[in-house]
Structure 1
Amino acid sequence: MLLPRLSYRHVTVKDDTRMTFQPFETIEAGRSSRWLVTCDHATNIVPPTVNGGDLGIAPADMARHIAWDPGAAGVALRLAELLDAPLTMTRFSRLVIDPNRGEDDPTLVMRLYDGTVIPANRAVDAAEIERRLAAFWRPYDAELARLSARRRDTVFVSVHSFTPRLNGRGDRPWQIGILHAADDRLARPLIDRLRREPDLCVGENEPYGGHLRGDAIDRHAIANGLPNVLIELRNDVISTERDQIAWAERLAPILAEVLAETGL
């Protein structure tokens, strides 16, 4: 089964070079469930208005997790379809500007990531960060706000992936990690349910701890009292379209079961 070919809602942004770029894609038409699925790091695209579309690192590095979340978009596409959920996802690399960070986060524009220097970001100044915020970060943030507010009982699900290992670090054993911070109403029962799956190693706040202040879930779910969960999948287990579909089809009924049992 191939991932569906779908029509997207997008906003086209014009920047000071008079070039245009679509910073996000949304699939929404005909979908009316409580669920909202997001994918903050869906692609490794560098818009042409950012250093001519080239951050100065090798193609092999742009294909790594430092530039995007490999496999996450494919999982999110199928998961949203199965949950009858609107989906929104970025169209710019996290190395351009990270939509899962607050505007004042020092890692909003990374200069060094997992041992790789990002030449186009080394001398980035406040004016350039503001330009990238206006062109890419804020339009996506506004779309998250719009979709989160479409129903008062929205359930926010963010799909990410992580690398099996960072340079100089040990292997990460978890196929899936569930992240949460102050609001674990959905995350805690989901972790418990996934741990009943005999073939899964499930991480709680692994490979990262909880949520960052000002990140996308903090801004749009926790701040508004919406049930939420951030799902991290190890990218080697979702490296093919078939794997992405299989994981989505595994997770969708589990998510629906857990939400029903919580009574949220």
Structure 2
Amino acid sequence: MTGTTTKTLPVVTTENRSARGPFLVVCEHASNHFPAAFGTLGLMPEARAAHIAWDPGALGLARGLSKALDAPLVSAGISRLVYDLNRPPHAPGAMTERSEVFDIPGNANLAEAERLRRTEAIYLPFHAALHAEIARRLASGRPPVIVTVHSFTPVYFGKNRKVELGLIHDADPTFARAVLIEAKARTGLDCRLNEPYSAADGVTHTLRLQATPYGLHHVMLEIRNDLLADDLAISAMTDGLAPVLTAALARIGTETNRKAAI
């Protein structure tokens, strides 16, 4: 998908809703689609296709994990530059004026009415849909383990990043630490906890909003995007990470999530 498409995409899509596995997969930065209602934000096509606009490879991996883990998937259909769904409405980064070295002209000095318009059109429907999937599973006695899928660029402000798989958590590190142990044992990836980001960087809003209040196990997967460069690479990463997640859950058991259902 490129940023030049004129196709109208939904704000949020839920796939594999009838899945019976213990996980729920989320991809907030799945798309670099710029709806006509919000324009191109003054960006050239090259910028709209770049990693600043989305997480390349993340949706493919999220779909692979959804299938492999028999898990529902909730994904976004609009570029994070229009609204970053992993940021709360009051955060500057929700509708950022600058991403790395790129100015975002269409986000400069946004009026209150425009911030409200985007919040109502994008943020509220997405998080309502995600919450609905969580609530359905809570009601059926199957509290889900929340796995959010992201990718990051190999070079950031001119600095090479050696980490290949980052595992990030909100308040409870239990599941992320178990995933780290299993990933180190089962893959050849350079795996690190709370790199290249952590909750201190404000990147766990979805987890804080949707998982932490219910005491749900959770992890944010950050994969270096050169490892998701094509379908073959995405398939290989799926094959590597699906058993890691399953083994991590077996390692810690599901006691916390069981308590959440009581």
SS in 2 for 1:232: strand
Q: 1:263 to 1:98 in 2, by over 3 A?
A: same
1:37-186 counterparts in 2 under 5 A? 37-51=25-39, 54-152=40-138, 153-168=143-158, 170-186=159-175
* SS across alignment from 2:29: coil
Q: Measure the CA separation in 2 of the matches of 1:81 and 1:189.
A: 22
| 2:21 aligned residue (33, 57, 76) | 33
Contact 2:32 2:78 in 1 (8 A): yes
Match of 1:226 among 216, 220, 234: 216
**Partner Cα separation in structure 2 for residue 191 and residue 198 of structure 1:** 10
SS at match of 1:108: helix
Contact 1:102–1:213 (8 Å) recurs in 2: no
RMSD: 1.6
**TM-score, normalisation: structure 2:** 0.88
Question: Counterpart of 2:41 in structure 1: which amino acid?
Answer: L
Q: Please give the per-residue CA displacement for 1:76-110, whole angstroms capped at 9, x wherever unaligned.
A: 00100111000010000000011001122121101
2:53 is paired with a residue whose SS is coil
Once residues 9 and 46 of structure 2 are traced to their aligned partners in structure 1, the CA distance between those partners, rounded to angstroms, is 24
Structure-2 separation of matches of 1:109 and 1:92 = 12
Contact residue 170 and residue 207 of structure 2 kept, 8 A: no
**Once the 2 structures are TM-superposed, how far is the Cα of residue 214 of structure 1 from its aligned partner?**
7.0
Paired with 2:66 and 2:210, the residues of 1 have a C-alpha distance of 18
Size of the aligned set, in residue pairs, is 242
Mapped to 1, the partners of 2:71 and 2:22 lie a distance apart of: 7
Change (3 A) 1:193 1:29: closer
Contact 2:17 2:73 in 1 (8 A): no
- Provide the C-alpha distance between the structure 2 equivalents of 1:37 and 1:199, rounded to a whole number of angstroms: 23
Amino acid at match of 1:109: M
* Cα distance in 2 for residues equivalent to 1:61 and 1:213: 22
Alignment match, 1:209? 198
Q: Alpha carbons of 1:185 and 1:214: their partners in 2 closer, same or farther (altered >3 Å)?
A: closer
Residue 199 (str. 1) matches residue 188 (str. 2): yes
Question: Structure 1 residues 171, 214: closer, same or farther in 2, change over 3 A?
Answer: closer
Partner of 1:257: 247
Aligned equivalents of 2:88, 2:213: Cα separation in 1: 13
Q: Is the 8 A contact 1:175 1:233 kept in 2?
A: yes
1:124 deviates by 1.4
How many Å separate the matches in 2 of 1:166 and 1:213?
16
- 1:235 is matched with 225
Alpha-carbon distance in 2 for matches of 1:228, 1:214: 10
Q: What secondary structure is seen at the aligned counterpart in 2 of 1:199? A: coil
- For residues 96-138 of structure 1, the C-alpha deviation after alignment (integer angstroms, 9 at most, x for no partner) is 0110011221211011111101111113111101000111111
Cα distance in structure 2, aligned partners of 1:129 and 1:194 = 40
1:189 to 178, 197, 207: 178
Moved more, 245-254 or 27-36: 27-36
What are the ranges of 5 or more consecutive residues in structure 1 without an aligned counterpart?
A: 1-19
**Percentage of matched positions with identical amino acids:** 36
In 2, the alpha carbon distance for the partners of 1:222 and 1:71 equals 26
SS in 1 for 2:185: coil
Distance 1:95 1:116 in 2: 11
> What's the offset of the Cα at 1:203?
1.8
Q: Distance in 2 between matches of 1:79 and 1:55?
A: 32
Moved over 2 A (4+): 196-199, 210-214
